[in-house]
């Protein structure tokens, strides 16, 4: 025994101090792809974004996705993202931004191409020793969200960049992400990018069918649903003046849950996980359409839905539930100064007291494509009168224009619901 102890001690110490390694991929006994971490299957239960990571872990999540390498150094809870993720045992799909021609990048300009190659090589060299990075995410919708996917220059350049990444960091897988599951895009990656290990697809209304589309287009490697959530503002019904009608908070939550449950059914053997969008808040069409949190930090019902999907149970504190939120003004034109009625029924599953906040904003006019940054319209506090059980009224603006009335219902314990109604004054 005195001889064995010194021999075993280094191995025991190495085991005790070893850090989880990058993700790898393999086919299991059934012939299906799976990701692997430290020899064990690793199914991604992820979210795009980097705030409220403690809530992500509590909800059953295990991975975050970023879009650019600068995010790795951003402060989260007072620490760099790579450090905070390591503490929470979260992996990172580390994004490496690839140029978009709609932003001025030219895939026929050798000078721009060479600079991008050098930047990607330098970024990988800088961050490759961070244990929280599970794999690299090379580009996001660089072909263009509305493109047909037939521009081979982009796919061929992706292959060049993927090879550079693997030269610098042969230990990690490389994923690329396309906008939607259009067949020419999938075929472009399949035919021109043999160094891409994982195909990521961003999809919204059609998200549940993305796996089937990927498989039918002949993709044979792992597939991740890299963005999903409510139906996009370009995919829903609009008012007569062109304002998209935002899904209710309950409809959004149901969409997150059903997409997560259905995503793997038609892509059996390829699906290795997903990243819900967005684990944070952003202005895109409205201030509440895609964010799974309010700007003030409260979680929304979509977070509860993902917790249920990931763990099989509801979180300890659930969001207020808006059962009814209707108005004759919704999607309609009303007169200046007209009294507008709203019917609201909100309950809290935990019987918490619910506080209501009402605001009014002009319809956003700073619309961009592909998730580019937008300027948020100013919101003003709205004076509401209670006219009976579940009944409220407010006075329409005197100034003609397109507006939205927003309702935020908070439980005072970090959970909320958000609704809005578009209307026009004329």
Domain covering 321-425: architecture: Sandwich (2.60)
**Would you say 353 and 411 are in contact if contact means Cβ atoms under 8 Å apart?**
yes
- Residue 82, SS3 per DSSP: helix
Q: What confidence score (pLDDT) does residue 5 get?
A: 36
pLDDT tens across 251-308, in order? Answer: 999 999 999 988 877 677 999 999 999 999 999 999 999 999 999 999 999 999 999 9
**Would you say 361 and 345 are in contact if contact means Cβ atoms under 8 Å apart?**
no
Q: What confidence score (pLDDT) does residue 95 get?
A: 98
Q: What confidence score (pLDDT) does residue 146 get?
A: 87
Q: Do domains 16-228+263-279 and 321-425 have the same CATH topology?
A: no
Q: What confidence score (pLDDT) does residue 18 get?
A: 52
Q: How far apart are CA 9 and CA 55, in angstroms?
A: 38
CATH fold group of domain 16-228+263-279: TIM Barrel (3.20.20)
- Quote the pTM value: 0.93
What b-and-e string marks burial along 92-123, b requiring 16 or more CB atoms within 10 Å of the CB? bbbbbbbbbbbeeeebeeeeebeebeebbbeb
- Through-space distance between the first and last CA atoms of the chain, rounded to whole angstroms: 90
pLDDT tens across 57-77, in order? Answer: 999 999 999 999 999 999 999
Which stretches in the chain have pLDDT values below 70?
A: 1-19, 266
Domain ranges of the chain: 16-228+263-279, 321-425
Q: How far apart are CA 318 and CA 352, in angstroms?
A: 10
Q: What confidence score (pLDDT) does residue 15 get?
A: 38
């Amino acid at each position: 025994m005195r001889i064995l102890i010194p021999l075993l001690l280094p191995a025991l110490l190495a085991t005790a101090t070893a850090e989880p390694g990058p993700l790898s991929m393999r086919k299991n006994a059934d012939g299906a792809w799976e990701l692997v971490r430290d020899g064990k299957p690793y199914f991604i239960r992820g979210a795009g974004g980097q705030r409220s990571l403690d809530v992500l872990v509590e909800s059953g999540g295990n991975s975050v996705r970023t879009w650019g390498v600068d995010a790795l150094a951003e402060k989260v809870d007072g620490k760099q993202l790579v450090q905070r993720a390591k503490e929470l045992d979260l992996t990172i799909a580390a994004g490496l931004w690839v140029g978009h021609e709609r932003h001025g990048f030219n895939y026929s300009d050798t000078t721009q191409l060479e600079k991008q190659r050098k930047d990607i090589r330098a970024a990988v060299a800088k961050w490759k020793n961070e244990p929280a990075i599970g794999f690299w995410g090379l580009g996001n919708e660089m072909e263009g969200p509305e493109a047909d996917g037939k521009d081979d220059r982009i796919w061929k350049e992706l292959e060049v960049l993927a090879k550079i990444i693997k030269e610098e960091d042969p230990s990690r897988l490389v994923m690329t992400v396309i906008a939607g599951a259009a067949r020419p895009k999938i075929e472009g990656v399949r035919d021109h990018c043999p160094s891409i290990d994982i195909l990521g697809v961003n999809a919204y209304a059609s998200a549940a069918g993305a796996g089937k589309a990927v498989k039918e287009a002949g993709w044979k490697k792992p597939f991740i649903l890299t963005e999903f959530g409510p139906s996009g503002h370009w995919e829903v019904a609009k008012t007569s003046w062109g304002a998209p009608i935002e899904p209710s908070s309950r409809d959004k939550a149901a969409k997150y849950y059903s997409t997560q449950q259905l995503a793997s059914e038609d892509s059996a053997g390829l699906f290795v996980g997903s990243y819900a969008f967005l684990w944070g808040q952003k202005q895109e069409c409205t201030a509440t359409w895609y964010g799974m949190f309010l700007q003030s930090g409260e979680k929304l019902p979509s977070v509860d839905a993902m917790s249920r999907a990931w763990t099989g149970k509801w979180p300890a504190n659930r969001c207020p539930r808006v059962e009814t939120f209707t108005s004759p003004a919704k999607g309609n034109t009303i007169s200046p100064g007209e009294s507008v009625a709203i019917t609201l029924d909100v309950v809290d599953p935990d019987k918490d007291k619910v506080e209501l906040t009402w605001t009014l904003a002009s319809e956003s006019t700073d619309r961009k494509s592909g998730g580019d940054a937008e300027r948020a319209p100013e919101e003003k506090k709205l004076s509401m009168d209670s006219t009976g059980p579940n009944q409220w009224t407010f006075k329409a603006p005197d100034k003609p224009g397109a507006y939205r009335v927003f309702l935020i219902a908070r439980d005072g314990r970090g959970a909320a619901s958000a609704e809005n109604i578009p209307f026009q004054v004329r």
